[in-house]
Structure 1
Amino acid sequence: MVHHTMNTRMSSAASASNSKSHMGSNRQTRASAAARWAVAAILGTLAACGTVPPESPPPPAAAPPAAAAAPGAVIEQPRSRWVPVGWDALPGWGADQLVMAWPALLRSCQRPGPAWVALCAEARGLKDPTETAVRAWLQQRLQPYRVEAKDAPAGTPADVGLVTGYFEPLVEASRLPRGAFRVPLHAPPADLQQRRPYWTRAQLEMLPAAKEALKGREIAYVADPLDALLLQVQGSGRLWVTEPDGSRRLVRVAFAGHNDHPYRSVGRWLVDQGAFTLDQASWPAIKAWARANPQRVQEMLHANPRVVFFREEPLSDPTVGPVGAQGVALTPGRSIAVDKESVPYGTPVWIDTTEPQPWGSPQPPRPLQRLVLAQDTGAAIVGAVRADYFWGWAEGAEDRAGRMKQPLRMWVLWPRR
């Protein structure tokens, strides 16, 4: 899954996103990966283990004391520097339920990187992944490293960046156009690869030849053009589809291509129009503006020439998330999107940030310190200390993802040498 992020406000953190939209410069590593953007970009600016696990893997040794990690050498990545630290450097390390991240780690082990093949075989063979066993295994097998930006400006902390959030939308839809359900979601047109770039959003809606190319490619219809935009920004989503016979079915639409035009933020366009300030920009603010200005919604949407095409996938297990850029299903609350030039896919990452607060809340934000897995990416997710946190699809996920834009620190957990 590849995506933009939904928050318009920019961060001054050195390693924050450079505002490239996920849909704006998607690096298409996979069909499903090429479509995930993070919620903030809608406003501004996602080979199995080859070694067979032993029949009876040796039980992990007792967890070493928190400060007993043996630091190694600094590891250089294209966009980041990893500095070895002790376990006591990870804020909140002792409080997280690490066993809750174990299923996400095993999913990453379906497609391990070279450094992880042997450890993944061992992890898959752990017969009793209790909290104690998982914590001991992690601390025995892995070394924590603080992630720093190589190019942090003078006076800016190299280890402080930005976290945003994304989610998988759930949208009501109809298989046939009826009533309010008139906004189509399209499969890729037959001539998509022959015409580069393809028609823009405005051309696809207005030019007879462009409209003809989309005829018969309708997957389903939604009632709100902003729902269609949100699905495109997130790169995938769930549809409650009403079939012609009146039955309802839950399906997933996943990224299948785009028209090869750059993504332009509708939130930024509204700021430039004077609809609200950059600090006031949010997905709820965009929707409120659209309700108050229905005659200008098409103009707003045409400001973004990028169009995403989908494919329909069955959703036999509603508990399984969409596939991220690593090629494995995402886990709500335990998967993040990263800049793969800073953190390789499949890497366990300790994050230190805060939970998103309701706008204007007088309460201090609660810490969000937990183990997550780097399993996705996005063109808006650029920088050393940069992550997009996957909130899932449950009620409240859209709200939390839309409000998430906090400072972030990260530590990668890497196999000991």
Structure 2
Amino acid sequence: MIRGLWAAILAGLVMTGPVFASDGGPGLKYSVLKYSDLDGWAEDDHAAALRVFNETCPDMNDPDWRALCALASAQKGEEADARAFFELFFRPVLIEDGNDGLFTGYFEPELDGALSPGGRYRYPLYRVPPEARGQRFWHSRREIEEGGVLSGRGLEIAWVDDPVELFFLQIQGSGRIRLPDGRHLRVGYGGSNGHEYRSIGIELVRRGVYNAHQVSAQVIKSWVRRNPVDGADLLRHNPSFVFFREVNEVPPEKGPLGAMNRSITAMRSIAVDRRYTPLGAPVWIEKDGKNPLRRLMIAQDTGSAIKGAQRADVFFGTGDEAGLAAGKLRDPGRMLVLMPIQRAYAMVPADAE
């Protein structure tokens, strides 16, 4: 029986002391919990989570993870075995930095475009220019768009038909271009101009156009389209500018590449702050709000706006429907990182009670 096999492997490693909490440095607190403390744990599809875990686990080089990854890849993915794998080899760790938990959503946009300009396809996606590589700061968005520093240099990857969707593609960092002949071109993050992202939603609130609770991606898009001159100026309020690269190695049916350079999976992959959550680690999500979510996710991505120990961005998938769902998500809750047993207990002082 597989549970007995794992128990033998773990001889001397499984610690059965009390659940405890301790300060983990300035402003940080670590708590090791039991699986019975996780709301909805028993009802999740652990086999689905294990399959996604195996997508990136082989790329984790830390010794504490390598042995677990070898065991994970040998599993058949049956529900009972998958749940036993996580429960035997990991402990849920609640990492708190004093900020409330916050979950948002993201997606892979799909835009209409072409490989050459013409007609409605007038807005280019650019590769990173050679002189911008390695520079801390390059031209701002306003300088790039108004000064034409990229025009006529052969840096264009494709042209799309909507500058607003192109702006949000830059925020997402990756997407698919639907070509006139039905093919798809996938693009990924290729670099940036080094400027910090500045929220245009917050700017709309500051200008008195909307109240904070009214702002969403769809609201912003609608306002920019109704106000083309002021809308263009609003988009340039964000000085950050993202360059792209073609991602030809990913089949159309698979998700975009995440921060681990592997495809991510809808509703099982999340973006995290890697200062607190190791990339590739399983993370238990307890999202509250209108549509509560209790699910084992895998930390396979990062994002410039994802900052904090209790902060995660849930990947919803590709296309408009995924975008609508992702744009509505802004809910409280908590997240717990599943850490290898010995590492979980090492996160607190030996004399913790």
Does 2:265 correspond to 1:293? no
State the match for 1:138 in structure 2: 86
State the match for 2:69 in structure 1: 120
Percentage identity across paired residues of the two chains:
38
RMSD: 2.5
Question: How far did residue 185 of structure 1 move?
Answer: 0.6
Q: TM-score, normalised by structure 1?
A: 0.74
State the match for 1:360 in structure 2: none
What letter matches 1:258 in structure 2?
A: S
Choose from 210, 215, 221 the match for 1:276. 210
Distance (whole Å) between structure 2 residues aligned to residue 407 and residue 69 of structure 1: 31
Query: Could you say if the C-alpha distance between residues 73 and 62 of structure 1 is closer, same or farther in structure 2, counting changes exceeding 3 Å?
Result: farther
* Larger RCO, structures 1/2 (Cα 8 Å, 6+ apart): 1
Query: Could you say if the C-alpha distance between residues 72 and 96 of structure 1 is closer, same or farther in structure 2, counting changes exceeding 3 Å?
Result: same
State the match for 1:205 in structure 2: 145
What letter matches 1:375 in structure 2?
A: Q
Question: How far did residue 370 of structure 1 move?
Answer: 0.5
SS in 2 for 1:396: helix
Query: Could you say if the C-alpha distance between residues 215 and 74 of structure 1 is closer, same or farther in structure 2, counting changes exceeding 3 Å?
Result: same
Distance (whole Å) between structure 1 residues aligned to residue 17 and residue 122 of structure 2: 61
Query: Could you say if the C-alpha distance between residues 170 and 333 of structure 1 is closer, same or farther in structure 2, counting changes exceeding 3 Å?
Result: same
Distance (whole Å) between structure 1 residues aligned to residue 203 and residue 83 of structure 2: 47
Are the aligned partners of 2:193 and 2:240 in contact in 1 as well (CA < 8 Å)? yes
Q: TM-score, normalised by structure 2?
A: 0.87
Does 2:116 correspond to 1:182? no
State the match for 2:285 in structure 1: 351
Are the aligned partners of 1:257 and 1:309 in contact in 2 as well (CA < 8 Å)? yes
Choose from 168, 171, 176 the match for 1:230. 168
SS in 1 for 2:133: coil
State the match for 1:110 in structure 2: 58
User: After superposition, what is the alpha-carbon deviation per residue over 1:257-280, rounded to whole angstroms, capped at 9, x for unaligned?
Assistant: 111222221212222222211111
Query: Could you say if the C-alpha distance between residues 329 and 110 of structure 1 is closer, same or farther in structure 2, counting changes exceeding 3 Å?
Result: farther
Are the aligned partners of 1:77 and 1:342 in contact in 2 as well (CA < 8 Å)? no
Are the aligned partners of 1:354 and 1:366 in contact in 2 as well (CA < 8 Å)? yes
Which 5+ residue runs of structure 1 have no aligned equivalent?
A: 1-57, 153-157, 356-364
Query: Could you say if the C-alpha distance between residues 124 and 72 of structure 1 is closer, same or farther in structure 2, counting changes exceeding 3 Å?
Result: farther
Question: How far did residue 329 of structure 1 move?
Answer: 2.1
State the match for 2:322 in structure 1: 397
Does 2:236 correspond to 1:302? yes
Query: Could you say if the C-alpha distance between residues 108 and 313 of structure 1 is closer, same or farther in structure 2, counting changes exceeding 3 Å?
Result: closer
State the match for 1:219 in structure 2: 157
Query: Could you say if the C-alpha distance between residues 70 and 87 of structure 1 is closer, same or farther in structure 2, counting changes exceeding 3 Å?
Result: farther
Does 2:268 correspond to 1:334? yes
Are the aligned partners of 2:271 and 2:299 in contact in 1 as well (CA < 8 Å)? yes
Are the aligned partners of 2:58 and 2:66 in contact in 1 as well (CA < 8 Å)? no
User: After superposition, what is the alpha-carbon deviation per residue over 1:59-115, rounded to whole angstroms, capped at 9, x for unaligned?
Assistant: 234999xxx965466574787433112211000011111111111110121212332
Distance (whole Å) between structure 2 residues aligned to residue 351 and residue 207 of structure 1: 45
Distance (whole Å) between structure 1 residues aligned to residue 102 and residue 254 of structure 2: 27
Query: Could you say if the C-alpha distance between residues 293 and 342 of structure 1 is closer, same or farther in structure 2, counting changes exceeding 3 Å?
Result: same
State the match for 1:369 in structure 2: 294
Where in structure 1 do 4 or more consecutive aligned residues deviate above 6 Å?
A: none
Choose from 332, 339, 345 the match for 1:414. 339
Are the aligned partners of 1:168 and 1:392 in contact in 2 as well (CA < 8 Å)? yes
Aligned length: 333
Query: Could you say if the C-alpha distance between residues 60 and 395 of structure 1 is closer, same or farther in structure 2, counting changes exceeding 3 Å?
Result: farther
Query: Could you say if the C-alpha distance between residues 61 and 74 of structure 1 is closer, same or farther in structure 2, counting changes exceeding 3 Å?
Result: farther
SS in 2 for 1:325: coil
State the match for 2:3 in structure 1: 60
Distance (whole Å) between structure 1 residues aligned to residue 196 and residue 293 of structure 2: 33
SS in 2 for 1:303: coil
Are the aligned partners of 1:77 and 1:341 in contact in 2 as well (CA < 8 Å)? no
What letter matches 1:182 in structure 2?
A: R
Query: Which structure has the highest helix share of the two?
Result: 2
State the match for 2:348 in structure 1: none
Query: Could you say if the C-alpha distance between residues 211 and 130 of structure 1 is closer, same or farther in structure 2, counting changes exceeding 3 Å?
Result: closer
Query: Could you say if the C-alpha distance between residues 381 and 79 of structure 1 is closer, same or farther in structure 2, counting changes exceeding 3 Å?
Result: farther
Which 5+ residue runs of structure 2 have no aligned equivalent?
A: 8-14, 343-353
Does 2:245 correspond to 1:311? yes
What letter matches 1:398 in structure 2?
A: G
Query: Could you say if the C-alpha distance between residues 334 and 80 of structure 1 is closer, same or farther in structure 2, counting changes exceeding 3 Å?
Result: farther
Query: Could you say if the C-alpha distance between residues 131 and 283 of structure 1 is closer, same or farther in structure 2, counting changes exceeding 3 Å?
Result: same
User: After superposition, what is the alpha-carbon deviation per residue over 1:181-236, rounded to whole angstroms, capped at 9, x for unaligned?
Assistant: 1111111123223765322222222325x245x52111111111111111100011
What letter matches 2:161 in structure 1?
A: A
State the match for 1:164 in structure 2: 104
What letter matches 2:91 in structure 1?
A: Q
What letter matches 2:305 in structure 1?
A: A
